[in-house]
C-alpha cells in the first residue's frame, strides 16, 4: 500500500512529545509562503502545540516548488483533456453502434 509523503512523515517521526506529553507528528506544508516546510504539531487540536522543524526555505527553494506545482498542474490538465477526449470518442462509438 502506498502512502502520501505526509503520512510517511507522520509515521516516521513520532519521537518528540509536545507540551501535553503526547507524541507530536511531523507534517509538511504544501501551500502558501511556507510550502515545503515541515512542522510538528500535537495530535490533540486543543493542545495547540506547533513547532517548525526546518529552517525557513530559501527564495530559490520556494521558486522551485512553485515551478514544480505549475508543471504538475499542467500535466493534470493535459491528462484530464486526454481522458475527456477518450470518453467522448467512446460515447460517440456507443451511440453509432445503437
Ligand atoms: Zn499536545
Mean pLDDT, the chain cut into blocks of 10 residues (98 residues total): 56 68 81 79 86 83 86 94 95 91
Environment class of residue 88 by beta-carbon count within 10 Å: exposed (0-12), middle (13-18) or buried (19+)? exposed
Write down the domain spans for the chain. Answer: 1-56, 58-98
Q: What is the DSSP letter of 60?
A: H
- DSSP secondary structure of 23-83: BPEEEE--SSTTTT-EEEE-SSTTT--EEE-SPPPPHHHHHHHHHHHHHHHHHHHHHHHHH
| pLDDT, tens only, 67-88 | 988 999 999 999 999 999 999 9
Model's pTM, two decimal places?
Answer: 0.47
CA of 42 relative to ligand 1 center, distance in Å? 4
Maximal C-alpha separation, the chain? 68
Query: What pLDDT is stored for residue 96 in this prediction?
Result: 92
Ligand 1 centre distance from Cα of residue 31 (Å): 24
Task: Give residue 38 CA to ligand 1 midpoint distance, Å.
Answer: 17
Amino acid at each position: 500500500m502506498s502512502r502520501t509523503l505526509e503520512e510517511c512523515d507522520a509515521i516516521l517521526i513520532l519521537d518528540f512529545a509536545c507540551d501535553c506529553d503526547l507524541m507530536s507528528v511531523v507534517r509538511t506544508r504544501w501551500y502558501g509562503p511556507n510550502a515545503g516546510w515541515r512542522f510538528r504539531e500535537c495530535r490533540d487540536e486543543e493542545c495547540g502545540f506547533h513547532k517548525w522543524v526546518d529552517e525557513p526555505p530559501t527564495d530559490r527553494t520556494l521558486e522551485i516548488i512553485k515551478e514544480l506545482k505549475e508543471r504538475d498542474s499542467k500535466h493534470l490538465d493535459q491528462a484530464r483533456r486526454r481522458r475527456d477526449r477518450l470518453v467522448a470518442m467512446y460515447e460517440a462509438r456507443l451511440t453509432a453502434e445503437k
